[in-house]
Structure 1
Protein backbone atom coordinates (compact mmCIF):
# COMPACT_ATOMS: atom_id res chain seq x y z
CA UNK A 1 0.00 0.00 0.00
CA UNK A 2 1.09 3.56 -0.62
CA UNK A 3 0.73 6.34 1.96
CA UNK A 4 -1.20 9.35 0.65
CA UNK A 5 -2.72 12.60 1.75
CA UNK A 6 -6.46 13.21 1.43
CA UNK A 7 -5.82 15.42 -1.64
CA UNK A 8 -3.80 12.67 -3.36
CA UNK A 9 -6.58 10.15 -2.69
CA UNK A 10 -9.15 12.58 -4.08
CA UNK A 11 -7.07 13.01 -7.25
CA UNK A 12 -7.14 9.25 -7.81
CA UNK A 13 -10.88 9.08 -7.19
CA UNK A 14 -11.44 11.95 -9.64
CA UNK A 15 -9.25 10.27 -12.27
CA UNK A 16 -11.07 6.94 -11.93
CA UNK A 17 -14.47 8.64 -12.09
CA UNK A 18 -13.54 10.68 -15.16
CA UNK A 19 -12.17 7.64 -17.01
CA UNK A 20 -15.22 5.49 -16.20
CA UNK A 21 -17.61 8.30 -17.21
CA UNK A 22 -15.86 8.74 -20.57
CA UNK A 23 -15.76 4.99 -21.29
CA UNK A 24 -11.95 4.87 -21.04
CA UNK A 25 -11.78 2.48 -18.06
CA UNK A 26 -13.62 -0.81 -18.15
CA UNK A 27 -12.56 -2.34 -14.83
CA UNK A 28 -10.38 -1.90 -11.78
CA UNK A 29 -10.23 -1.90 -8.02
CA UNK A 30 -9.41 0.57 -5.27
CA UNK A 31 -8.79 0.04 -1.57
CA UNK A 32 -8.02 2.77 0.94
CA UNK A 33 -7.64 2.65 4.70
CA UNK A 34 -7.23 5.40 7.26
CA UNK A 35 -3.99 4.35 8.92
CA UNK A 36 -3.20 7.34 11.16
CA UNK A 37 -5.52 10.36 11.21
CA UNK A 38 -2.75 12.54 12.71
CA UNK A 39 -0.16 11.73 9.99
CA UNK A 40 0.69 13.97 7.03
CA UNK A 41 -0.24 11.07 4.71
CA UNK A 42 -2.92 9.25 6.72
CA UNK A 43 -4.34 7.00 3.98
CA UNK A 44 -2.95 3.67 2.83
CA UNK A 45 -4.01 3.13 -0.78
CA UNK A 46 -3.74 0.42 -3.40
CA UNK A 47 -5.43 0.53 -6.77
CA UNK A 48 -5.36 -0.92 -10.24
CA UNK A 49 -7.55 0.37 -13.04
CA UNK A 50 -7.53 0.07 -16.80
CA UNK A 51 -6.93 3.15 -18.93
CA UNK A 52 -6.52 3.97 -22.62
CA UNK A 53 -9.27 1.67 -23.78
CA UNK A 54 -10.73 4.23 -26.19
CA UNK A 55 -7.51 4.06 -28.21
CA UNK A 56 -7.29 0.26 -28.37
CA UNK A 57 -6.08 -2.33 -25.90
CA UNK A 58 -4.87 0.27 -23.38
CA UNK A 59 -2.97 -0.35 -20.18
CA UNK A 60 -3.24 -0.10 -16.40
CA UNK A 61 -2.48 2.35 -13.65
CA UNK A 62 -1.15 0.53 -10.60
CA UNK A 63 -0.74 2.21 -7.20
CA UNK A 64 0.65 0.80 -3.98
CA UNK A 65 1.44 -2.71 -5.17
CA UNK A 66 4.41 -4.39 -3.50
CA UNK A 67 6.82 -6.03 -5.92
CA UNK A 68 8.49 -9.23 -4.61
CA UNK A 69 11.88 -8.23 -6.03
CA UNK A 70 11.78 -4.98 -4.01
CA UNK A 71 11.50 -6.85 -0.70
Structure 2
Protein backbone atom coordinates (compact mmCIF):
# COMPACT_ATOMS: atom_id res chain seq x y z
CA UNK A 1 0.00 0.00 0.00
CA UNK A 2 1.05 3.59 -0.51
CA UNK A 3 2.94 5.35 2.26
CA UNK A 4 0.52 6.97 4.69
CA UNK A 5 -2.56 5.18 3.37
CA UNK A 6 -3.15 3.04 6.46
CA UNK A 7 -2.95 6.10 8.72
CA UNK A 8 -5.29 8.01 6.44
CA UNK A 9 -7.88 5.21 6.35
CA UNK A 10 -7.61 4.82 10.13
CA UNK A 11 -8.21 8.56 10.51
CA UNK A 12 -11.29 8.49 8.27
CA UNK A 13 -12.69 5.58 10.25
CA UNK A 14 -12.00 7.23 13.63
CA UNK A 15 -13.64 10.45 12.48
CA UNK A 16 -16.60 8.47 11.10
CA UNK A 17 -16.15 10.05 7.68
CA UNK A 18 -17.93 7.87 5.11
CA UNK A 19 -15.74 6.40 2.38
CA UNK A 20 -15.74 3.43 0.04
CA UNK A 21 -14.11 2.02 -3.08
CA UNK A 22 -15.30 2.52 -6.65
CA UNK A 23 -13.52 0.25 -9.12
CA UNK A 24 -13.87 -0.95 -12.68
CA UNK A 25 -12.71 -4.39 -11.48
CA UNK A 26 -15.06 -7.34 -11.31
CA UNK A 27 -16.12 -9.19 -8.17
CA UNK A 28 -13.37 -11.83 -8.35
CA UNK A 29 -10.65 -9.16 -8.37
CA UNK A 30 -12.42 -7.28 -5.60
CA UNK A 31 -12.53 -10.39 -3.41
CA UNK A 32 -8.84 -11.07 -4.12
CA UNK A 33 -7.80 -7.61 -2.93
CA UNK A 34 -10.06 -7.77 0.13
CA UNK A 35 -8.47 -11.06 1.15
CA UNK A 36 -4.85 -10.16 0.36
CA UNK A 37 -4.79 -6.55 1.57
CA UNK A 38 -7.09 -7.04 4.58
CA UNK A 39 -9.36 -4.27 3.29
CA UNK A 40 -12.18 -5.39 5.58
CA UNK A 41 -10.51 -3.30 8.32
CA UNK A 42 -11.74 -0.18 6.58
CA UNK A 43 -14.29 -1.14 3.95
CA UNK A 44 -17.53 -3.09 3.86
CA UNK A 45 -17.39 -5.17 0.67
CA UNK A 46 -21.18 -4.86 0.40
CA UNK A 47 -20.82 -1.08 -0.04
CA UNK A 48 -18.08 -1.19 -2.68
CA UNK A 49 -19.11 -0.12 -6.17
CA UNK A 50 -17.58 -2.49 -8.73
CA UNK A 51 -18.17 -3.66 -12.29
CA UNK A 52 -21.21 -5.88 -11.86
CA UNK A 53 -22.34 -5.30 -15.43
CA UNK A 54 -25.11 -2.88 -14.40
CA UNK A 55 -23.17 0.39 -14.31
CA UNK A 56 -21.37 1.69 -17.42
CA UNK A 57 -17.63 1.24 -16.93
CA UNK A 58 -14.57 3.12 -18.19
CA UNK A 59 -14.43 5.60 -19.76
CA UNK A 60 -17.90 6.52 -18.47
CA UNK A 61 -17.80 8.26 -15.05
CA UNK A 62 -21.03 6.66 -13.76
CA UNK A 63 -19.31 4.34 -11.28
CA UNK A 64 -17.77 7.34 -9.46
CA UNK A 65 -20.89 9.49 -9.36
- TM normalised by structure 2 equals 0.30
The structure richer in helix per residue is 2
The structure richer in strand per residue is 1
Which has the larger Rg? 1
- TM normalised by structure 1 equals 0.28
